[in-house]
Amino acid sequence: MGVELQKQNIVLILIDTLILKKIVKKRERGIVLPYPIFRGNIYAMPNDRLLSTYDRQTVILSNEAVAEAHYLLRCECAEIAQHAHPGQFVHVMISQDTGMLLRRPFTIYTVEGREITMLYQIIGEGTKRLSEMPKDAPLHVLGPLGNTFDFTVKPEPAILVGGGAGIASLMLLAVALRENDIQTLGLVGAQRCARLLSVKDLESIDIEVHIATDDGSIGHHGYVTDILADLLENTAWQRPTVYACGPHGMLSAVAKITADFEVPTQIAMENRMGCAMGVCLGCVCPVRIDTNTIEYQRVCTEGPVFNASDIAWDV
Ligand SMILES: Cc1cc2nc3c(=O)[nH]c(=O)nc-3n(C[C@H](O)[C@H](O)[C@H](O)COP(=O)(O)OP(=O)(O)OC[C@H]3O[C@@H](n4cnc5c(N)ncnc54)[C@H](O)[C@@H]3O)c2cc1C
Ligand code: FES
């Protein structure tokens, strides 16, 4: 019986591998899947998304400090730039030679022609090493990955709430909102003035920016969520919509505030990731389907953008 099942599995793996090879060959786009293919894996990511996902070897064009412990990296990835949408991310291979096998996920910060940028914070070994990589160093970039922010119901206004490097996930959205003439406010939080990010980039596209720092070195002394609560309390807006990214605690505070004011809210989650292609289930987060049911969904595939009211924050 065991042998029989094993045989069936091997056949299924072969069939899946053949189907995948066919898709890749048909599209002739040079998609390289970086992970082993097991039964079912090709269905892990929706096919339309898989077909506009690219694994590219490129080189760093620039990689410069923009604030304390934060860097902006620029590289050329024409196909990724062409298909990127607000909220989507890339999975970056930093260095394989020293046992750093897992890629690291970073949101696409900006797109300009054939180039993309990533704005990242030094957190651990991977991002430290990335920050030390010079111009012309090789880089493997897989993307664009994940779902996107939605503004088909026109926000009046859109309120972006970014905590620390979380603001990086909101910049492509900010650009898209302004291109669609949507009034947009940016609430930017940081530990201190030296770590403040993106203020000039937001102001350069006519976004009104409000700043909060934990130590009060610039802007409001306190959390960025204090500003959000204050604005929602004291401003009569038509149809405000909140878009947020940042540490988990900040996101859960945003979700609570906007639930109290009944303001629709989309958040980008930044869970730890393994494959980023819907296979390993390392990135799941609890989503409430109804009052009695919680389902674990993959941040890399069903997300990273979720409705804040769908997340089971207490689990
Ligand atoms: C969809 C998505 C988009 C992201 N976008 C950005 C961005 O634009 N800018 C930015 O500064 N950071 C971003 N992050 C967080 C970033 O991926 C981590 O800070 C980074 O992976 C840390 O790697 P490390 O090797 O320095 O840290 P280590 O702690 O040494 O990493 C060990 C492992 O944990 C994972 N990990 C650690 N911290 C995080 C975290 N906070 N979130 C997710 N995985 C983590 C790493 O991927 C790695 O697998 C994003 C995360 C996700 C999931
Ligand atoms: S990171 Fe592997 S399933 Fe999401």
Q: Rounded CA gap, 169 and 224, in Å?
A: 16
Q: How large is the average pLDDT for residues 246-261?
A: 98
| 132-145: pLDDT as tens digits | 999 999 999 999 99
The CA 231 to ligand 1 mean position distance, Å, reads: 31
- Where exactly are the structural domains of the chain? 2-143, 158-310
The CA 158 to ligand 1 mean position distance, Å, reads: 26
Task: Indicate the fold that domain 158-310 takes in CATH.
Answer: Rossmann fold (3.40.50)
| Protein residue with its CA nearest to atom 19 in ligand 1 | 123
| Protein residue with its CA nearest to atom 22 in ligand 1 | 123
The CA 222 to ligand 1 mean position distance, Å, reads: 25
The CA 210 to ligand 1 mean position distance, Å, reads: 26
| 106-119: pLDDT as tens digits | 999 999 999 999 99
Which of 100, 270, 275, 277, when mutated, tests ligand 1's pocket best, judged by the most ligand atoms within 8 Å of its CB?
270
Fold agreement (2-143, 158-310): no
- Portion of the chain with pLDDT greater than 70, in percent: 85
Q: What is the model's pLDDT at position 46?
A: 76
Residue in the block written with tokens 């040079």: 30
- CATH number for 2-143 (one of 2.40.30.10, 1.10.3720.10, 1.10.1040.10, 3.30.70.360): it is 2.40.30.10
Q: Rounded CA gap, 67 and 168, in Å?
A: 13
Contact 246, 259 (CB under 8 A): no
Query: Which listed ligand is nearest to 251 at the C-alpha?
Result: 1
Q: What is the model's pLDDT at position 8?
A: 39
Q: What are the backbone dihedrals phi and psi of residue 229, each rounded to the nearest 5 degrees, phi first?
A: -60, -40
Residue 127's pLDDT band, with cuts at 50, 70 and 90, is very high
CA-based diameter of the chain, in Å? 69
Res 9 pLDDT > 90: no
Specify the range with the lowest mean pLDDT, choosing from 44-58, 143-157, 195-209.
44-58
Q: Which residues of 44-53 are buried (b: 16+ CB within 10 A; e: fewer)?
A: bbeeebbbbb
Residue 48's pLDDT band, with cuts at 50, 70 and 90, is confident
Query: Which listed ligand is nearest to 299 at the C-alpha?
Result: 2
Determine if ligand 2 sits within 6 Å of the CB of residue 276.
yes
Q: How large is the average pLDDT for residues 215-219?
A: 98
Mean pLDDT (the chain) is: 88
Q: What is the model's pLDDT at position 292?
A: 87
Specify the range with the lowest mean pLDDT, choosing from 25-29, 98-102, 153-157, 219-223.
25-29
| 268-301: pLDDT as tens digits | 999 999 999 999 999 999 999 888 899 999 999 9
The CA 106 to ligand 1 mean position distance, Å, reads: 7
Determine if ligand 2 sits within 6 Å of the CB of residue 87.
no
